[in-house]
A and B are shown apart, each in its own frame.
Chain A
Amino acid sequence: MLRIPADLLDAVIAHARADHPDEACGVIAGPEGADTPTRFIPMVNAARSPTFYEFDSRDLLALYRDMDDRGEEPVVIYHSHTATEAYPSRTDIAYASEPHAHYLLVSTRECGSGDGPVEVRSFRIVDGEVSEEPVEVTSADAPSPDAP
């Protein structure tokens, strides 16, 4: 399951709407091993494409150095699909390289850059195997208590 604070999820969705019709992408980093997303880091889609995304290579190095310095890891890796459902594409699966990350997909095919409905789903992608997981949106103010 992905537990994500509402303000961070809102930031991801706002980024996806803003970059529509191109794919938006980014990371939510969090303390290593805690599985808790805390720091929203929108990235430039170097491909600037409606069907592909890729972090710029220099930005990628800077991102990983920064996370390393802070003792963080990429808890969530997000990107948008702008004409298809929020489900990993074949290329998403082929290039997924963070076995501990939650791959969060946002589809803006209905809303475009407007206020309409978005589809948000989360997946683990490990060794080419996709498994969907529930998304629990927690209050932005307080960390979520353990589920009863």
Chain B
Amino acid sequence: MAIEVRIPTILRPYTDGAKIVEGEGATLAALIDDLDARHAGLRDRLVEDGALRRFINVYLNDEDVRFLGGIDTPLGDGDSVTILPAVAGG
């Protein structure tokens, strides 16, 4: 079950510079585990205490997963996941 994952610039050091990687998983949490197995360290940049970090946005196709099931959002073959850090500050 291949899922295409778009990686933002700041996380590309974990993917040898790759902009798009592939992963597998029936949920976003499982996909992140799979990505971390292939690109060690990625999970910590995305997840804190079992939930997505507040200033990391993850989209399933066109939708922010916060409006779906968060880290438990189910994924299917051919889905596309985009990771984007929030642009925010004070």
Contact = CB atoms under 8 A, between A and B. Distances in A.
Nearest to B64: A57
Interface in B39-75: 55, 57, 59, 62, 64, 66
B90 A51 contact: yes
Contacts of B57: 57, 60-61
A119 interface: no
Interface of B: 8-10, 55, 57, 59, 62, 64, 66, 82, 84-90
A33 B51 CA distance: 34
28 contacts: A51-B90, A52-B89, A52-B90, A53-B89, A55-B86, A55-B87, A57-B66, A57-B86, A60-B84, A61-B64, A61-B82, A61-B84, A73-B9, A79-B89, A89-B90, A91-B89, A92-B89, A92-B90, A95-B85, A95-B87, A97-B10, A97-B55, A97-B86, A97-B87, A98-B9, A98-B10, A98-B87, A99-B9
Interface in A17-60: 25, 27, 43, 47, 51-55, 57-58, 60
Interface of A: 25, 27, 43, 47, 51-55, 57-58, 60-61, 64, 73-74, 77, 79, 88-92, 94-100
